[in-house]
Amino acid sequence: METEHRVYIGNSNNLSQIIDDEVELIVTSPPYPMIEMWDGLFSSLDPDIEIALDSGEGKEAFELMHQELSETWDEIERVLVDGGIACINIGDATRKVDDSFRVYQNHARVTEYFDEMGFEPLPDILWRKPTNSAAKFMGSGMLPPNAYATLEHEYLLVFRNGKDSRDFQSGTDVRYESAYFWEERNEWFPDVWEGITGTLQELENADEELRDRSAAYPVELPYRLINMYSAYGDTVLDPFWGTGTTSLAAMIAGRNSVGYELQEEFTNVFDSGVSEVKELAYDTVERRIRRHEEFVERGLENGKDFKYDAENYDFPVTTKQEKQLQLYTIDSVRQTENGYVVSHTPYNESGSIDADTSEAGADDTR
């Protein structure tokens, strides 16, 4: 199995390299309106935003920033198949503008716009991101009533394009091969995720502007979403690509990907991640297999009766839907004009990885 991973440098308000209905899944995290680190970016797209902020017009700046994001959301509606899923990671913002402190509800504004476009909102997920900062509490400290709750979570908003789910032919092998374990379903589908922490992006050789961009979501987050809402061979789009975490997760998960990014410098960060993707994919699959084997062992010790055997592995599974489950590792990676092509091979429990066989270190021809 081969997957293709394309990266385009440009504004995602024009996804001209993607044809209609080419994408099955969106996984992205846009710049958050009214977070100060993004003021410069938004103002470069619309100078009226800087004017509004300087004039103390927080609500107007908030709306103008979301109008910029909405141009990308319009393009998403065009390229996403009917029944395809869009997952938007976004956080709200707390900010004092013109001596008025308030929360700017980015998640509500995005949800409203997707609803207007005809997307069906599905249950969202709260990704809890605790902070240990001693200064995290806002307001008047111990004195009521002017202290404020701390925002320690972000939203994973989930939308379906249209009223109907995607059509799959009954018994389609790729869908059953793409199944996840029963116990993974129980871990991935609750509406609160904890224990997944964001990490600072390593931009040692980048300029100050790039170093300011931090707290990208960890690869585990898009990896889960890709497994939850797509099948092998599907195409995942990230219109706010950043350092390419979504594309990296798509490589590991055996999906195609497309990314759009304004700043070409970020591709260098992604290239360094690709150099380790074979090992990362192997470790990810190994961890999933070992965790399932531990789950089975505990179940057998507690008298659980597993009624089904996996067809591709030497262990039982809980449900009939898991029988054809097939995991893949990465055999090779080669660069292309617009990104990478990845060759995947079915994982077997006696498999091993030779990290030196990757071609990801070839000269960059992007």
Q: Where a domain ends, among 254, 274, 294?
A: 274
**CA angle, 356 then 361 then 362, to 5°:** 120
Q: What percent of the chain has pLDDT over 70?
A: 86
**Residues 67-119: tens digit of each pLDDT:** 999 999 999 999 999 999 999 999 999 999 988 889 999 999 999 999 999 99
Q: Which residue has the higher pLDDT, 136 or 158?
A: 158
56 is a domain residue? no
Report angle CA 207, 211, 214 to the nearest 5 degrees: 160
**Cβ–Cβ < 8 Å for 192, 173:** no
- Residue with more model confidence, 272 or 280: 280
Split at pLDDT 50, 70, 90, the class of 167 is: confident
CA dist 333 and 274 (Å) reads 8
pLDDT of residue 66: 98
Cis upstream peptide for 145 (omega within 30°)? yes
Please check whether residue 96 lies inside any domain of the structure.
Answer: yes
Q: What is the pLDDT of residue 184?
A: 98
Identify which of 23-37, 137-151, 255-269 has the greatest average pLDDT.
23-37
d(CA 284, CA 290): 10
Residue 131: what pLDDT?
A: 59
pLDDT, residue 88, reads: 98
For residue range 307-340, what is the model confidence (pLDDT) as tens digits?
999 999 999 999 999 999 999 999 999 999 889 9
Do 260 and 346 share a domain, yes or no? no
In a domain, 254, yes or no: yes
Q: What is the CATH number of the domain that holds 181?
A: 3.40.50.150
Q: Band of the pLDDT at 140, cuts 50, 70, 90?
A: low
Q: Is the same domain home to 19 and 161?
A: yes
For residue 11, the SS3 value is coil
Structural domain ending residue among the three candidates 274, 302, 337: 274
Q: Which of 214, 249, 274 is the last residue of a domain?
A: 274
Calculate the average pLDDT of the chain: 88
- Cα-Cα-Cα-Cα dihedral sign, residues 89, 160, 267, 210: negative
Under the banding of pLDDT at 50, 70 and 90, the label for residue 171 is low
> Is 41 part of a structural domain of the chain?
no
pLDDT band, very low/low/confident/very high, at 64 (cuts 50, 70, 90): very high
Q: Looking at the structure, do residues 92 and 229 belong to the same domain, yes or no?
A: yes
Nearest CA-CA partner of 80 in 30, 162, 25 = 25
For 229-239, what is the mean pLDDT?
97
46 inside domain:
no
Residue 365 resides in a domain: no
Mean pLDDT of 282-290: 95
Which pLDDT value is given to residue 351?
Answer: 42
Structure tokens at 173: 């092998």
Which residue segment(s) compose the domain that 349 sits in? 277-357
* Residues 250-278, mean pLDDT to the nearest whole number: 90
- Looking at the structure, tell me whether residues 207 and 325 fall in a common domain: no
198 has pLDDT over 80: no
- Cβ-Cβ contacts under 8 Å for 360 (sequence gap 6 or more): 271, 274, 275, 277, 278, 333, 334, 335, 340
Same-domain check for residues 201 and 345: no
Domain count, the chain: 2
Confidence of residue 139 (pLDDT cuts 50, 70, 90): low
**Predicted local confidence at residue 76, as pLDDT:** 96
User: Do 179 and 244 share a structural domain?
Assistant: yes
Residues 256 and 288 in one domain: no
Nearest to 161 by CA among 18, 25, 16, 258: 25
Spatial CB neighbours of 255, under 8 Å, sequence gap ≥ 6 = 3, 25, 226, 230, 232, 233, 234, 235, 236
My answer on whether 247 and 104 are in the same domain is yes
Between CA 264 and CA 299 the distance in angstroms is 50
Residues 154 and 290 in one domain: no
For 233, other C-beta atoms within 10 Å of its C-beta total 15
**Residue 50 resides in a domain:** no
337 shares its domain with 252: no
Rounded mean pLDDT, 126-143? 67
Per the CB < 8 A criterion, the answer to whether 153 and 126 are in contact is yes
Q: Do 237 and 289 fall into the same domain?
A: no
Taking 3-state DSSP, the helix, strand and coil percentages for the chain, each rounded to the nearest 5, stand at 35, 25, 40
Residue 215 in this model has a pLDDT that exceeds 70: no
**CB neighbours (10 Å) of residue 339?**
22
Mean pLDDT within 54-61: 95
Is-contact 234 165, C-beta < 8 A? no
The answer to which of 100-114, 135-149, 164-178 has the lowest mean pLDDT is: 135-149
Between these two residues, 77 and 202, which has the higher pLDDT value? 77
Would you say 323 and 308 are in contact if contact means Cβ atoms under 8 Å apart?
yes
Instruction: Mark whether 265 and 353 lie in a shared domain.
Output: no
The residue-averaged pLDDT of 196-203 equals: 51
Interval 2-17: pLDDT, tens: 999 999 999 999 999 9
DSSP conformational letter for 94: E
Q: What 3-state DSSP class applies to 45?
A: helix
Residue 168 within any structural domain of the chain:
yes
What mean pLDDT do residues 132-158 have? 76
Question: How does residue 359 score in pLDDT terms, banded at 50, 70 and 90?
Answer: very low
- Inform me whether the pLDDT recorded for 206 exceeds 80: no
Q: What is the pLDDT of residue 355?
A: 37
